[in-house]
Amino acid sequence: MSPPRQVFIAVIGAGGVGKAFLHQLSGLASRLSQSPSSPYRLSLIWLSTSNKAVYHADYKSLSDWEAELETNAKPSLALPQLQDYLVKAPGKVVLVDNTSNQDVANAYPTFLNRGISIVTPNKKAFSGNLQLFNDIFAAAANGSNSSGAGGHVFHESSVGAGLPVISTLKDLLETGDEVTKIEGVFSGTMSFLFNSFQPTSGGGGRFSAEVTNAKNKGYTEPDARDDLNGLDVARKLTILARLAGLPVESPTSFPVQSLIPAELESCQSGDDFLEKLPQYDAQMDALKQEAASEGKVVRFVGSVDVPANAVKVGLEKFDATHPIAALKGSDNIIAFYTKRYGDNPLIIQGAGAGADVTAMGVTADLVKVLRLLH
């Protein structure tokens, strides 16, 4: 029996997801250290926020990161210096990027090429320009890096948080199934908004009132327009489409319906926008009435039609008995239509946002990377 291997963990980001992840990491590290048969021991050696960092030159474990961040923080290192620090660690390193930062994402290929594995919910790495996506998987040991020296990269939480969306798509493809269509509700905000705007049981408020309600309940970004423009959903569809083999150039290279009335795009602030939105309720009311007259409801969905090489995001009407219509609360739903599964798709459903379930996807990815490190 070989002694347990020390694996070094570096975490960027200590916001909502970052804190939830650090909590899960501490539980995981403690379970592993208590299991005599576990071949790994985990050591947190780096934690940085947007402007400060805690780490030790001798790679000593950050046993109490909260206290150290409070009392012992230094200015953060630039990414190349962070890489230099990490590659010299006396063992394998996994970088956990819990930010949505484009600069960190841009550095993934060099981290991977230098043997550092990455787990992350950061959508920008996989939905930005296609070259970055290709560079990441060309550098990764679980992509096409044939030297075997690269790090592994996993990003389950970049779509549907902890729901097993990306792993399921990969299983379908790797076993030779043909994925024909992926369709679903990919935004907790949009889910909550439309489940309230037009419940299958009838009723529901005016659109602007439901947006304000969703914002007040904390379901939207600080500026609700960041949800209503559809870009968050477009990013997730870009990721799934690319994994399914479509060379999607960017999240703005296919039709994305924005729910921001053209006249309000130039509003100075989110509050100004919310104040003026009621003037445009008639449009959304008309859509709702039209759907209702057909026994349907309106939902904000995304879809990838693989054979047609077509991706789109926007409003669609669904029969009240359709699983997409019957969604509850702020749940996501993702349906995979494939040759093997036939008429009834493989469906994954549940909370697709929130710090704990997003961090869960990251932690599960970390466990997968640990198994691959040897």
Q: Pick from 69, 79, 177, 180 the residue near a copy of itself by CB under 8 A.
A: 177
The three-state secondary structure class of 12 is: strand
- Count helices and strands (H / E) in the chain: 15, 12
**Closer CB to a copy of itself, residue 161 or residue 246?**
161
- Amino acid (1-letter code) at residue 32: L
Q: Could you confirm whether 328 is annotated as catalytic?
A: no
Q: How far is the CB of 81 from a copy of itself (least distance, A)?
A: 30
Count of chain residues binding a copy of itself (CB under 8 A): 55
Report the alpha-carbon distance of residue 230 to residue 186 in Å, rounded. Answer: 10
- Site membership for a copy of itself, residue 278 (CB under 8 A): no
Q: Pick from 62, 82, 163, 267 the residue near a copy of itself by CB under 8 A.
A: 163
Give CA separation, 306 vs 87, 172, 315, 370, in Å: 40, 14, 20, 33
Report the alpha-carbon distance of residue 178 to residue 279 in Å, rounded. Answer: 46
Window of 51-59, 71-79, 227-235, 347-355 that interacts with a copy of itself by CB under 8 A = 347-355
- Site membership for a copy of itself, residue 157 (CB under 8 A): no
Interaction residues for a copy of itself, span 28-47 (CB under 8 A): 28, 31, 35-37, 39
Whether 246 and 169 have beta carbons less than 8 Å apart is answered as no
Q: Pick from 172, 244, 277, 353 the residue near a copy of itself by CB under 8 A.
A: 172
Give the other-Cβ count within 10 Å of 205's Cβ: 14
Give the other-Cβ count within 10 Å of 106's Cβ: 17
Query: Residues 209-248 vs a copy of itself: string with x where CB under 8 A?
Result: ----------------------------------------
Identify the CA nearest to 306 among candidates 169, 175, 133, 131: 169
Name the residues that contact a copy of itself, by CB under 8 A.
Answer: 1-2, 24, 27-28, 31, 35-37, 39, 142, 144-148, 162-164, 167-168, 171-172, 174-177, 200, 321, 323, 326, 328-329, 331, 340-351, 356-357, 360, 363-364, 367, 371-372, 374
